[in-house]
Amino acid sequence: MRDVVVIGGGLSGLAACYELEKRGIPYTLIEVKDRLGGSIHSRVDKGFVTDGCAFAFAPIEDAALLRSLGLQGASFDFAPGHTGFRAGSGALVDAMSSRLTGGKLLRMAVSSIGRWKGRYTLCLENGMVLDAGAVIVAAPARYAQRMLYNLAPEISSRLRDYQYDSIIRVSLGYHKDDLPNARPRPFSAIFPFVSATDADGRVPDGDHMLLQVGARSQAGIDPDQVLAAVVDHYGGGRDPVMWRVGHWAEADPLSCYDDCHCENMAAIQASLPAGLGLIGSDYCLEPPQRAGIARLDERLRQGQDAARNAIVYLRGKQRR
Ligand SMILES: Cc1cc2nc3c(=O)[nH]c(=O)nc-3n(C[C@H](O)[C@H](O)[C@H](O)COP(=O)(O)OP(=O)(O)OC[C@H]3O[C@@H](n4cnc5c(N)ncnc54)[C@H](O)[C@@H]3O)c2cc1C
């Protein structure tokens, strides 16, 4: 019998699994895609390490965690208060997932969660049914609301109102001679973040520079237009050696956050059924606009806390 099922193999779900792994608690991870990492997706293009989304974040202070993952010294500073991994944010995903020995079900989507004889039941879209002592939902609100529709209708209805910003992440690799502006700054409100680095490991050699630009907008933005605007502005129209465009039509629910967000999240957390955790970037108690958007450390903590809560719940049940 499964002790814990974790739904969603993004950073928060992986952090939960890693904590369960370290504490010797049997778990199964279910992920709808054929790869782990969720919105973190790093790769190497022509010697440049690029991230399709999360690339710069507040420094991860948990030295013991980084040590246990072999990632001490693996990061560098993009800008004051913003750090990144030389091998891309995927380094964190790879280090964690390679240490997980529990069950992993990839390309399987959970469609609903129920309760039967004191245990959780999970229906998968392929018709499979699993049971678990405790469940950690680490999937975005737009999916979680469907899973929770029967089990926790009030939570489901609060999550149904979520709206998302579109984010486009443009990475450009340039030879330094072709980059007129080596210290780029945001040039319009929809490009709130731009970074340039020639850090060892991120670029093919010291003659090249990697630019990463984040564009945030309403849904419907055209990624090709964003690419053209960015190349035009930062590269003076000159062709980059490498480019990558990551388009997330439904990314973080940022610009629609308002004061009700904290209230909503607190109400949701307070009414979660015992033994059920809900974690990930959509469920922060503090809106990211206030607490900072680049918070992979928070995702890690959410996962660790949810795993510990699940263990406390299971032990409590055993004693009864
Ligand atoms: C474009 C973009 C840029 C970003 N840039 C930054 C940045 O620069 N710095 C920073 O700190 N943060 C950034 N973030 C935020 C950061 O990526 C997230 O905080 C973090 O990676 C989210 O992890 P998560 O586990 O909460 O969610 P996700 O990564 O979304 O993972 C959720 C997982 O659940 C799975 N799933 C969904 N439904 C089901 C289902 N029914 N059954 C099973 N599995 C399911 C999904 O496939 C996915 O793998 C960015 C996010 C985006 C989208």
Place of tokens 């678990």: 132
- pLDDT score for 11: 97
SS3 call for 6? strand
Out of 3.50.50.60, 1.10.10.10, 2.120.10.30, 2.40.30.10, which CATH number does the structure's domain 4-40+89-162+254-319 have? Answer: 3.50.50.60
**Ligand 1 pocket, residue 10 CB under 6 Å:** yes
Domain 42-61+70-84+165-251: homologous superfamily in CATH: Protoporphyrinogen oxidase, mitochondrial; domain 2 (3.90.660.20)
- pLDDT (tens digit, 9 = 90+) per residue, 250-293? 776 655 556 677 888 899 999 999 999 999 988 887 766 666 66
Rounded to the nearest angstrom, the distance between the alpha carbon of 167 and the centre of ligand 1 is 12
For 216, other C-beta atoms within 10 Å of its C-beta total 19
Residue spans in the chain of domains classed CATH 3.90.660.20: 42-61+70-84+165-251
Write out the H or E segment, with its range, that includes residue 298.
Answer: helix 296-319
Write out the H or E segment, with its range, that includes residue 246.
Answer: strand 242-248
Q: How far is CA 68 from CA 88, 93, 166, 197, 304, in A?
A: 18, 13, 35, 27, 14
Atom of ligand 1 nearest to the CA of 52: 1
Residue spans in the chain of domains classed CATH 3.50.50.60: 4-40+89-162+254-319
- pLDDT (tens digit, 9 = 90+) per residue, 32-83? 999 999 999 999 999 999 998 888 888 999 999 999 999 999 998 887 888 9
Nearest one of 228, 241, 230 to 181, comparing CA atoms:
230
**Whole-number average pLDDT of the chain:** 89
Give nearest CA residue, ligand 1 atom 42: 109
**Widest CA span of the chain, in angstroms?**
70
**Ligand 1 pocket, residue 110 CB under 6 Å:** yes
Choice from 51, 257, 281 to test ligand 1 binding pocket (greatest atom count within 8 A of CB): 281
Cβ proximity of 139 and 159 under 8 Å: no
Rg for the chain (alpha carbons), in Å? 21
**Ligand 1 pocket, residue 89 CB under 6 Å:** no
Side chain identity at 196, as an amino acid letter? Answer: A
- pLDDT score for 255: 52
Q: What is the pLDDT along the chain (320 residues), one digit of tens a residue?
A: 569 999 999 999 999 999 999 999 999 999 999 999 999 999 999 999 999 888 888 899 999 999 999 999 999 888 788 899 999 999 999 999 999 999 999 999 999 999 999 999 999 999 999 999 999 999 999 999 999 999 999 999 999 877 777 888 889 999 999 887 666 666 666 666 788 899 999 999 999 999 988 877 666 677 888 888 888 888 888 889 999 998 887 776 655 556 677 888 899 999 999 999 999 988 887 766 666 667 899 999 999 999 999 999 999 988 87
